[in-house]
Structure 1
Amino acid sequence: MTDLRDLGDAPLLERLAAKSTELSRAERKVADVVLENPTFAMDATMAAVADTAGVSEPTVMRFCLSMGYDGFQSFKLALAQSLALGFPATFASISATDDVGQLSHKIFDHTISSLDRARRSLDETELDKAVGAILQADRINFAGVGASALVAMDGEQRAPLFGLPATAAPDAHQQLMAAAMATPETVTIVISNTGRVRSMIEIARTARSNGSTVIGISGKTRLSCNTATFI
């Protein structure tokens, strides 16, 4: 069994949703109450949570301890902090019955939660290396296909604002040609949601073989600087 605290500094609601099946049956009743109405759980007394879940107050305390907190109050504090970051996407799914207000709230909640996850997963050492490489570069080549190509095109538009010429070729073949002509003064930024697109890995390897600093950005892995592949 995986300890609930193994999810590190992920917000409480994310940890609870991921690991609620590992709680005892009685503790899962408490988890269900929290997941169904976290705002209620944050404001309620222990007795109110126990009554709503149909369990005893000691069960609520055991639930808090199982989640890695030393009591009900510390659990509620963590819950409040989690709610302040916005509901995870699993709690903000759009339904056909949502009105405009509900839709806007869910979109903002999802965006805030996504930004927080990105912040927590960011490797500041790699980011510093990437910034340093870009500051020393004489040009940037962006590469990406599908939705990642849109990110590459956005980067191409923004780079001249910092005095750097940039290209984002429209297809992987042309991106590979750009990688083949890269020099040690070129920074190649390869964007891939999965980090496993073969054409992007080939572009990264080709650019790196020419001495280009390669920065890989992926939705599944952390930013990595000066690498020839995605891990």
Structure 2
Amino acid sequence: MEENIILQIKSALHSLSKAERKIGEYILQHAVEIVNYNTSELAQKAGVSSATIVRFCRSIGLSGFSQLKIRLYADASGVDEDLYTDITPNENVAMIAEKLALRFNHSISQTVNQLDQSLMENVSKIIDSSTTIYVYGLGASHIVAEDFTQKFSRIGKTVVNMLDHHLLSSSFIGTDEKSVFWQYPIQVKPMKLLN
């Protein structure tokens, strides 16, 4: 699943070199026009070298300028450019909903592209075979741990979630090998590894 190229460029801007950032900013302002340019024309208009354009494309995960043009044509043509701006005061509800939908779809695409399927299958097997799942998260991660607890309890899993790590660690005493410790940020460890 391909990510939206406009949002992909926006999220990569902070990690690009100064010259590459210059191209990225130019593309964001002229996305629809870029599909009609060749490398030399874009380089001239953005005030950089043709080689920098190639480096820019590779920096954002593309094979080259041709792929950039194809992705821009698919994502930017016929789309209201205001969709790619941040939500502003006094914006109508319909525009806010469209912006949120665009970003939500982009986030799902990013997740799918970065998902390690073999790791997910291994973690699923560990959780499925576990008798008890111990969950821990501190601060904002505790909210994620609470959500995990609620969701997995609903499907019949025994989940122990405590904010106090002293109480949580003392509850490990009676665990068996099929128990799992799940910590946020994510680290899944069978209890036999903790002994």
Distance change in 2, residues 1:77/1:16 (3 Å): farther
Higher relative contact order (CA 8 A, sep 6+): 2
SS at match of 1:79: helix
Q: Deviations over 1:104-127 (max 9, x none)?
A: 233223322223323333222221
Contact 1:141 1:187 (C-alpha < 8 Å) held by counterparts: yes
Q: Deviations over 1:40-87 (max 9, x none)?
A: 246x5228xx5xx79469x79666534257875432113346669xxx
- Number of residue pairs matched by the alignment: 178
Distance change in 2, residues 1:32/1:163 (3 Å): closer
The answer for the alignment partner of 1:19 in structure 2 is 16
The answer for the alignment partner of 1:167 in structure 2 is 160
Identity of aligned residues (%): 16
Distance change in 2, residues 1:174/1:102 (3 Å): farther
Give the distance between the partners of 1:16 and 1:78, measured in 2 at CA. Answer: 17
Give the distance between the partners of 1:56 and 1:160, measured in 2 at CA. Answer: 58
Contact 2:132 2:159 (C-alpha < 8 Å) held by counterparts: yes
Query: 1:46 is matched by which residue type in structure 2?
Result: Y
Contact 2:177 2:191 (C-alpha < 8 Å) held by counterparts: no
SS at match of 1:46: coil
The answer for the alignment partner of 1:222 in structure 2 is none
Distance change in 2, residues 1:76/1:176 (3 Å): same
The answer for the alignment partner of 1:114 in structure 2 is 107
The answer for the alignment partner of 2:139 in structure 1 is 146
Aligned-residue offset at 1:140 = 1.3
The answer for the alignment partner of 1:209 in structure 2 is 194
The answer for the alignment partner of 2:36 in structure 1 is 45
The answer for the alignment partner of 2:72 in structure 1 is 79
Range that drifts further, 129-138 or 112-121 = 112-121
1:126 to 110, 119, 136: 119
Cα RMSD over matched residues? 4.1
Distance change in 2, residues 1:115/1:181 (3 Å): farther
Contact 2:127 2:180 (C-alpha < 8 Å) held by counterparts: yes
Contact 1:142 1:167 (C-alpha < 8 Å) held by counterparts: yes
1:36 to 25, 29, 35: 29
The answer for the alignment partner of 1:227 in structure 2 is none
- Mark the runs of 5 or more structure 1 residues left unpaired by the alignment: 1-8, 85-90, 196-200, 211-231
The answer for the alignment partner of 2:148 in structure 1 is 155
SS at match of 1:128: helix
Distance change in 2, residues 1:189/1:31 (3 Å): closer
- Mark the runs of 5 or more structure 2 residues left unpaired by the alignment: 78-83
Distance change in 2, residues 1:179/1:36 (3 Å): farther
